[in-house]
């Protein structure tokens, strides 16, 4: 028996939502590629463009939210279809917050008057590369509804947390013997933004797990907690 018209319409709308989430994910990943260039070059114009582009990312998220709510209200989806929409809402919100951390760094770059005080430490560069790769993989996991890949992303976040802890511990040890410089303080701020971005990428991975399995997942459950620091 041929599918009813309403089912075909809903399928097309779900496909459209998934495509919009993918577009948002790619836009957010691009902000981190741009951030890496900004930190390397202290390019004020690129930093300003990144800040201004945040409005576009916010609009993309809002469009996903409005479209998803409209579909739920008019189509009354159930089971897997409803999970697709709920996951899209959650993932779009997380992606928008991930972009905000890149904007925070770009705002900081705009305040720096010279290149000598702009942190580009190995820790920052490595953490940035991790974020870019995690974003690429988590959006692939979303596209493929791949739980195994989502778990791999969560494991990468734990490695990112270790990098953050090690970099911060070096700064705190320095603080025990000498006064921290402005460079040290700004490095601390940037690596914290990157660590938080990684946490939100894990939240995206957990939403993918919910989409695939139909129940909530803590992908870091059972993994030893990292040492915490007050900053």
Going by C-alpha positions, the residue among 230, 105, 108, 122 that lies closest to residue 175 is: 230
Picking from 18, 1, 36, 13, the residue whose alpha carbon sits closest to that of residue 121 is 36
What are the residue ranges spanned by the domains of the chain?
Answer: 5-213
Residue 114: its pLDDT value, please? 60
3-state SS string for 121-182: CHHHHHHHHHHHHHHHHHHHHHHHCCHHHHHHHHHHHHHHHHHHHHHHHHHHHHHHHCCCCH
In CATH, what number does 5-213 get?
A: 1.20.58.220
pLDDT of residue 113: 61
Tokens of 162: 């270790």
Give the pLDDT confidence score for residue 1 in this predicted structure: 38
pLDDT value for 228? 43
Which residues of the chain have a pLDDT value below 70? Answer: 1-6, 113-120, 221-231
pLDDT per position as a tens digit, 2-26 = 444 567 889 999 999 999 999 999 9
Q: What is the pTM of this model?
A: 0.88
Give the pLDDT score at 42: 84
pLDDT at 118: 60
pLDDT score of 215: 85
Which residue, among 70, 50, 64, has the nearest Cα to 10 in the 3D structure?
A: 70
């Amino acid at each position: 028996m041929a599918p009813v018209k309403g089912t075909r319409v809903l399928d097309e709308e779900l496909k459209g939502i998934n495509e919009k989430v993918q577009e948002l994910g790619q836009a957010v990943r691009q902000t981190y590629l741009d951030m890496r260039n900004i930190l390397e070059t202290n390019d004020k114009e690129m930093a300003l463009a990144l800040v201004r582009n945040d409005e576009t990312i916010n609009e993309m998220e809002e469009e996903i939210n409005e479209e998803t709510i409209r579909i739920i209200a008019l189509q009354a989806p159930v089971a897997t279809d409803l999970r697709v929409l709920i996951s899209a809402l959650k993932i779009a919100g997380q992606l928008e917050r991930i972009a905000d951390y890149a904007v925070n760094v770009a705002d900081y770059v705009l305040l720096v008057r010279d290149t000598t005080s702009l942190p580009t430490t190995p820790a920052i560069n490595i953490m940035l590369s991790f974020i870019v790769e995690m974003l690429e993989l988590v959006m692939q996991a979303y596209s493929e509804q791949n739980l195994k890949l989502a778990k791999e992303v969560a494991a990468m976040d734990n490695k990112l947390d270790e990098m953050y802890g090690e970099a911060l511990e070096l700064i705190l040890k320095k603080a025990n013997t000498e006064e921290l410089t402005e460079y040290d303080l700004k490095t601390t701020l940037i690596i914290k933004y990157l660590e938080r971005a990684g946490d939100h990428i894990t939240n995206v991975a957990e939403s993918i797990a919910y989409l695939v399995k139909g129940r909530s997942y803590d992908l870091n459950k059972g993994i030893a907690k990292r040492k915490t620091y007050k900053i």
